[in-house]
Amino acid sequence: MAWLHNGRTLKVGKSWTDDNGYKHPYNWASAWSAEDKASIPLVWEDEPDTSYDNRFYWSRGVEKNLDDVNVVDDDGNAVIDPITGVQQVQLGLKSQWIAQTKSTANGLLTASDWYVVRNAEKSTAIPTEISTYRDAVRTATGTIETAINACADLDAFKALFVVPTDDDGNPTGNAPIYDFPEEV
């Protein structure tokens, strides 16, 4: 945010000289009325919005790729990983979020893994609510992955992060990308 005079930025609290050579006082910003500033003319200019959501953009207006991209150099030649000997791949948002979804599911299932181990070792039954919960986590994971893969463009992908609300704006559930069952 800045005051401009004929395209020149003025600093508040500093005196300045106009195009006619007249020196204006340091307190011009607070002492002058809006009419005084307009008569000079001084123009207020808001700073441009430079914000962006780094989940979807590298920088303002530069979208991240949805799909994986083979890495190439400036000449268009494949960039080969020196360790594996294969072309490097920059993972797209879909691959990244599918991996994140699987990691979340793993974390949710880990807490009840001991029931499965106990069942395998001692044939002790897994409680129904635990089995139901574990199945629900796996089903939710599949549903989320399907939704991610179905996104044809960035707008569709961004919609997966929108929390559903009622008419009053109150949340009615989870955003589709985070729609896992409640832990038991």
Residue 110 contacts residue 130 (beta carbons within 8 Å)? no
* pLDDT at 1 (0 to 100): 67
- The mean per-residue pLDDT over the stretch 111-139 comes to 97
* Tens of pLDDT, residues 6-19: 888 898 899 999 88
* Tens of pLDDT, residues 59-74: 988 999 999 999 999 9
Give the pLDDT band of residue 50 (cuts 50, 70, 90): confident
Tell me: cis bond preceding 25? Omega within 30 of 0 counts: no
Q: How far apart are CA 158 and CA 83, in angstroms?
A: 35
Mean pLDDT of the chain: 94
Could you tell me the residue ranges of all domains in the chain? 2-45, 57-178
Residues 6+ apart with CB under 8 A from 168: none
DSSP 4: E
% of the chain beyond a pLDDT of 90: 75
| b/e code 113-141 from CB counts within 10 Å (16+ = b) | eebeeeeeeeeeeeeeebeebbeebeebb
Among 16-20, 69-73, 90-94, 115-119, the minimum mean pLDDT is found in 16-20
* Tens of pLDDT, residues 127-179: 999 999 999 999 999 999 999 999 999 999 999 999 999 999 999 999 999 99
- Determine if the pTM surpasses 0.85: no
